[in-house]
Structure 1
Amino acid sequence: MKQRRLLAVGMPFFVVIALAVMPVPAGAGTNRPGVPSDTDYAASYARSKVTNVFATTQQVSCYRPEVPFFTTGTTDGYTGMTPCPGATTGEDTGAAGPYPTQIGSAAGYPAAGPKLVNDHSESDLRVDPNHPNHVIGSSKWFASAEGYNHVLGFYESFDGGQTWPVQGHIPGYEGFSDDTDPVGAFDGYGNYYSLILPYQFAYFGGALGGGSKLFQKSKLPNPTMPPEAVTVSVRPVGAKFAPDWITTHSNSAGVTGPDFVEIDNSQGQEPDKQWIAIDNNPSSPNYNTIYAMFVNFSFDGLMSKAYVSTA
């Protein structure tokens, strides 16, 4: 045992000496063994005629946020929450009034009007199994990056990603402060499902406060919506325009409302890390079965658990 320890102590010195006398090839340390160099990688783009396209800048998108936030503006390098200059997406911007899930919001909510989507992050990309040139991407759709204030948005291509003419925010859950963690899937018919994680918070000090978030039930902006949930919006096969989404569901009692997969009303319970997968194998006995998965993190001493729901 002692000999092994002494050998281990001596090895770093030997390695240092060896490296000191060995010539270092150009580019050493920049790539793992077997990984193409930057030059080779760039050349593969040219051989395969790969081009880069800015998708979300091809349209102007706006929506009416549930929670307004203006305090920081551009002073810290952010664009701030700004009024909509005029959307080109054809989506429902909320200019005519609050969205259905915003009816019943507390005083001061939702925002007075639609705001410009000025930032994006955390993208997810899916290819229609029946039509490979049909691609739908989704990402966080920010009205205020510094306030972490966003819904989810989508951008759709019918020519394999060369152009993205149809895009906008994913409707159905604008009555929450945030819709987050974009992930989607196509079924075997070509319907696209977006599994969404909406949740509520308010800002300490309101829209002009410091930006700290409040999650207490008594402080939440929309008492008609749960504090957190896992939900679904569906873009049916053949949809052509930004508002063409199915966002409601009729339950066994005949009541129509948001398509909730899971509702979390408990303080200290937090659903997160949702994922959706659909069996697209026509020979499978589970063909077109939808699997919605998420974990429920517990902060009240109980064990965090992963869940799956099928449809």
Structure 2
Amino acid sequence: MTWQQALKDYQLYLTIERGLSKNSIDNYALDVKKLMTYLDANALSISPITINSDTIQQFIYESAKHINERSQSRLISGLRSFFSYLIFEDYIKINPLELIESPKIGRKLPDTLSEDEIDAIIKAIDLSKPEGERNRAMLETLYGCGLRVSELINLKLSDLFFEEGFIKVTGKGDKQRFVPIVAITQKYINIYRKEIRTHLNIQAGFEDTLFLNRRGKQLTRAMVFTIIKQLVEKIGLKKTVSPHTFRHSFATHLLQNNANLRSIQLMLGHESITTTEIYVHLDRSHLTEVVEKYHPRK
């Protein structure tokens, strides 16, 4: 079995069996491609079936010179997944990464914005320009519904159920969920739809896409990042802010206002509650208040 064939089959498995998004599949494939590049550069004619832990350990050691511990841990995890697939298909019996430990790293807490900082960013939008109304509606949706940037740019007109107070969101692995949308967010989306979007020359295939660029096509992830970066620079905020920061802030502010973790999990579309639990670490004082208020032994 060649590396190219193994990688192709692995990507197909991630698509069909695990239902991962294209971005996730590309990231997993990149880990394998890095190992393939290393083998080529060192003239090592080793197949995916015959490679051993010593070779992989040396590859990881060389990679560690150029990447941080978190990236190193991600690389090991990606390769471990690839060889687990080969075991699943009965190509190999033992995972060569079985005894290779990932570096110990602290759990990275997500950056968040205060309510005042979010207000300042949104107020910095120039509403005299047509794209201003779109940008305000986008940021209000990111923060008001806790969306991933990919979920935002893929949002459809047919996903809006304003009378019921929900939007339908297509998340990772094409899994769909319904997320509540408050009246203020609905208001800004409707302003954009009725005053700006209707005047665009919408290109074929994008008639149902909610947020469009000036050419009438779907916005890119990079464009949303750029819009936010420019606004943050405009108000002089000394924080690294991305679309995901609005999502983190959505979850953190809900938790601070006594929303339960299970509800936040459902709204964020986290498959596991442990992913949502990272927000618990953001505000331990809040947890103390909860115990003091609700525990019978207070």
TM bin, normalised by shorter chain, reads under 0.3
Larger radius of gyration: 1
TM-score for both structures, normalised by structure 2: 0.21
Relative contact order higher in (CA < 8 Å, ≥ 6 apart) = 2
TM-score for both structures, normalised by structure 1: 0.20
Q: Larger helix proportion, structure 1 or 2?
A: 2
Q: Larger strand proportion, structure 1 or 2?
A: 1
